[in-house]
Amino acid sequence: MDAVDLSRIGLAGLAVMGQNLALNIAEKGFPISVYNRSSNKVDDTVERAKEEGNLPLRGYHNPQDFVLSIQKPRSVIILVKAGVPVDQTIATLSNFMEPGDCIVDGGNEWYENTERRAKQVAEKGLLYLGMGVSGGEEGARYGPSLMPGGTREAYNYIEDIVTKVAAQVDDGPCVTYVGNGGAGNFVKMVHNGIEYGDMQLISEAYDVLKCVGGLSNEEIAKTFAEWNRGELESFLIEITADIFTVKDNLGEGELVDKILDKTGMKGTGKWTVQQAAELSIAAPTIAASLDSRFLSGLKEEREVAAKIFKEHGLTDVFGSKTVDKKQLVDDVRKALYASKICSYAQGMNLLRAKSLEKSWDLNLGELARIWKGGCIIRAVFLDRIKKAYDRNPNLSSLLVDPEFAKEMVERQAAWRRVVGLAISNGISTPGMSASLAYFDTYRRSRLPANLVQAQRDYFGAHTYERIDQPGAFHTEWSKLARKVKGV
């Protein structure tokens, strides 16, 4: 092909995300070649490109023709299922690529796999990026949040494209070069962990409003719509308000009430919690959200348990007390906001710890900025998180930023009322409770950990430190205890 006929970039993998991202790239004026193992996906994408304005997109059924249709140095985005399919796609395409070409993995991949693949393709002289893509199918089509990580040279290949394709906010496009190695995939993983926490906290707010406050779906829809005009303004709050307005087209009432209470997952939340444990970073809100998904999967067991406990006299006490609806709605709003701050603080602390371990030099304020648009966790208060890190890049926790600290104190009374009310009514609020426990633990200058250390020293001679003098100490606890008892 003549150089003038070559595409600016290629994309392989035309499921929903890949197809929409390809159309987004073409719509921004960058000629693109697309390829998929299933020919019908290629044809569908080409047809959509025609229907949506004769966009500069060409489809290929042969991997060699696909690769050769891209201008050098070639950049190819792959959007296929994580794991083995990525390795297979790389093996297929790299046979036709040349030194200096670049592969960009846009899937939800484990960051160590990205680092492994970068080394493998480097042997062929190829560059590699792992790029987190958030925003779902709509974000992919009209402007996602993009988190590319790998060699800076590789990012330079696609910078002009991604800055136009990404969601645009008041202070720039929602994309930044994250860092080297697997930094991009790791950041996307933590983003998803925060997303797990957000969704769990919102579901708990709904549960309290419905089961304790007795609010109807219509009232809940109006409540979330109102919240979306204030400090909680976000994509997830917005869509939650919408969900409660949708009627069931197969029966009476709203559709949300007919959906099975069993949550699915794809693994990034689990990876986040595992990494938090590996790095000794407390992430109880995110962990609680993961546990809640596990428990939701035990639908049959829960139904049996409900019957057994009912037979033993334990029945639901939802709404057994008179509740001031207006006060409850205001309290739940404050509890949700405070809990969210804790969840984001946990995610940011995890990113900082991994950045130090891997020397990624992550800019937490910049990451908060690129999450302001396009992505699932986009929210107004991300701008305030960015400003917190702008004020103090070495901030130990969002909780101690002066502005956030003030808000936590102002909301903690309402937060405690909500959690206490939920517990007294038999409503589980694992996310809000975990956030509150995290806050209460973090703000205390002295914890009962002194007793735990004494126990460890008693049974395992693990030693302990003292508050009044330096060094490690060990005590013969059992001997001294027997002496005290006169044994």
Enumerate the active-site residues. 188, 195
CB 201 within 8 A of CB 333: no
Kindly state the helix (H) or strand (E) to which residue 22 belongs, with its residue range.
Answer: helix 16-27
Strand, coil or helix: what is 396? Answer: coil
Token pair for residue 458?
A: 């008693």
Q: How far apart are CA 439 and CA 163, in angstroms?
A: 37
Q: Is 108 annotated as a binding residue?
A: yes
Residue with tokens 């909680």: 232
CB atoms closer than 10 angstroms to residue 253: 10
Strand, coil or helix: what is 127? Answer: strand
What contacts 279, CB < 8 A, 6 or more positions away?
Answer: 350, 353, 354, 357
Q: Is 458 annotated as a binding residue?
A: no
Examine residue 173 and say whether the peptide bond preceding it is cis (omega within 30 degrees of 0): no
Q: Is 196 annotated as a binding residue?
A: yes
Q: Is 14 annotated as a binding residue?
A: yes
Q: Is 312 annotated as a binding residue?
A: no
Q: Is 156 annotated as a binding residue?
A: no
Q: Is 462 annotated as a binding residue?
A: yes
CB 77 within 8 A of CB 8: no
At position 214, the amino acid (one-letter code) is G
Q: Is 41 annotated as a binding residue?
A: no
Q: Is 293 annotated as a binding residue?
A: yes
Q: Is 217 annotated as a binding residue?
A: no
Q: How far apart are CA 203 and CA 209, in angstroms?
A: 10
What contacts 369, CB < 8 A, 6 or more positions away?
Answer: 169, 171, 172, 174, 176, 382, 383, 386
Count H helices and E strands in the chain, helices first.
20, 11
Q: Is 80 annotated as a binding residue?
A: yes
Q: Is 249 annotated as a binding residue?
A: no
Q: Is 17 annotated as a binding residue?
A: yes
Q: Is 482 annotated as a binding residue?
A: no
Q: Is 270 annotated as a binding residue?
A: no
Strand pairing report for 127-134 and 145-150: antiparallel
Q: Is 344 annotated as a binding residue?
A: no
The three state secondary structure string of 174-241 is CECCCECCCHHHHHHHHHHHHHHHHHHHHHHHHHHHHHCCCCCHHHHHHHHHHHCCCCCCEHHHHHHH
Q: Is 486 annotated as a binding residue?
A: no
Instruction: Show the CA angle centred on residue 385, arms to residues 380 and 390, nearest 5°.
Output: 130
| DSSP label at residue 487 | -
Q: Is 72 annotated as a binding residue?
A: no
Q: Is 277 annotated as a binding residue?
A: no
**Residue length of the chain:** 487
Binding-site positions for NADP(+) read 13-18, 36-38, 80-82, 108
Annotated binding-site positions for substrate: 108, 134-136, 191-192, 196, 266, 293, 456, 462
Known binding positions = 13-18, 36-38, 80-82, 108, 134-136, 191-192, 196, 266, 293, 456, 462
